[in-house]
């Protein structure tokens, strides 16, 4: 297993190196204008020259994402567990959840600005809403997939109420819940970046990308995009690490 993991890591590194080499070859060929595609070296220089500002942007983006993600995930798991265990509640809420899940979050930007203003609350609220919807749906599905024999065995041992939820329902649904959280944290990052671009802020990777593009600071724009991509990659890997720690029985 360890050898397989190491091989996968090396293949990933070689793939990243290959992408950079192709990027450099295309930029050096002159086929694409530097205003569209700066070289990796120019992008690295821009990153180094603006490291202090970009780190501030990274911290601001990560803080907004963390607050929205944690709030949305906790609320989604709680509501999803209640709905998943109760057929009547699930039937009552199914149409509402499906409606809002199908509604593009971008359509809620004006409403969020009216309700919460242009500051952090609107960005966090939209991120929380996105994470909540994905988490609640996956949690409901995971709870509904718990084997009935496992529930009956627990009830035979007089497990009920919170102990039944905590010791039977939640552990059985954890792999499905975490699959939802992986998707939620990626989409949550997208929402944070877009709101930073269009709903006003001082610091944030989305704001840096947008402003750099407006004034044709293309290497800075690419540097900020790269940092945003690395952030998304790191967050996804963090969720995978947690999954392997607490859901090792799922076979992932």
> 146-160: per-residue pLDDT in tens?
777 766 776 666 666
Domain range for 14: 1-32
Q: How confident is the model at residue 64 (pLDDT cuts 50, 70, 90)?
A: very high
**Residues 48, 25 share a domain:** no
**Residues 134, 23 share a domain:** no
**Residues 44, 167 share a domain:** yes
207 pLDDT above the threshold of 90 = yes
Instruction: Give dist(CA 226, CA 1) in Å, integer.
Output: 31
**Residues 155, 113 share a domain:** yes
189 compared with 166, residue with greater pLDDT: 189
Give the CATH number of the domain where residue 186 resides.
1.10.3720.10
Looking up tokens 């907004």, which residue turns up? 64
**Residues 245, 139 share a domain:** yes
Instruction: Give dist(CA 252, CA 250) in Å, integer.
Output: 6
CB 130 within 8 A of CB 189: no
Q: 209 is written with which tokens? A: 């990308």
**Residues 114, 14 share a domain:** no
Structurally, how many domains does the chain consist of? 2
**Residues 18, 122 share a domain:** no
162 pLDDT above the threshold of 90 = no
Q: 120 is written with which tokens? A: 């952090």
**Residues 201, 125 share a domain:** yes
**What local confidence, expressed as pLDDT, does residue 7 receive?**
59
**What local confidence, expressed as pLDDT, does residue 186 receive?**
93
Q: How confident is the model at residue 252 (pLDDT cuts 50, 70, 90)?
A: very low
**Residues 27, 144 share a domain:** no
Instruction: Give dist(CA 44, CA 53) in Å, integer.
Output: 14
212 compared with 146, residue with greater pLDDT: 212
**Residues 171, 106 share a domain:** yes
Lowest mean pLDDT among 40-44, 54-58, 73-77, 152-156: 152-156
**Residues 44, 27 share a domain:** no
Lowest mean pLDDT among 36-45, 75-84, 85-94: 85-94
């Amino acid at each position: 297993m360890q050898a397989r993991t190491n091989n996968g890591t090396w293949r990933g590194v070689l793939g990243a190196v290959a992408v950079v080499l192709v990027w450099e070859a295309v930029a050096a060929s002159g086929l694409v204008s530097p205003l569209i595609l700066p070289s990796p070296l120019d992008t690295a220089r821009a990153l180094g020259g603006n490291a202090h500002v970009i780190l501030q942007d990274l911290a601001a983006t990560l803080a907004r994402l963390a607050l929205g993600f944690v709030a949305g995930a906790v609320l989604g798991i709680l509501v999803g567990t209640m709905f998943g265990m109760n057929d009547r509640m699930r039937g009552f809420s199914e149409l509402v959840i499906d409606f809002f899940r199908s509604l593009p979050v971008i359509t809620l930007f004006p409403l969020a600005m009216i309700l919460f203003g242009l500051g952090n609350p609107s960005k966090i609220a939209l991120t929380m809403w996105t994470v909540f919807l994905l988490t609640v749906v996956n949690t409901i599905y995971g709870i509904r997939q718990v084997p009935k024999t496992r529930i009956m065995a627990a009830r035979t041992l007089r497990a009920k109420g919170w102990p039944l939820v905590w010791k039977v329902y939640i552990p059985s649904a954890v792999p499905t819940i975490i699959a939802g959280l992986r998707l939620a944290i990626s989409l949550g990052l997208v929402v944070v970046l877009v709101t930073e671009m269009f709903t006003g802020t001082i610091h944030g990777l989305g704001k840096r990308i947008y402003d750099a593009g407006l004034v044709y600071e293309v290497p800075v724009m690419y540097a900020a995009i790269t940092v945003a991509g690395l952030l998304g990659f790191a967050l996804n890997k963090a969720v995978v690490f947690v999954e392997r720690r607490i859901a090792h029985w799922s076979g992932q």
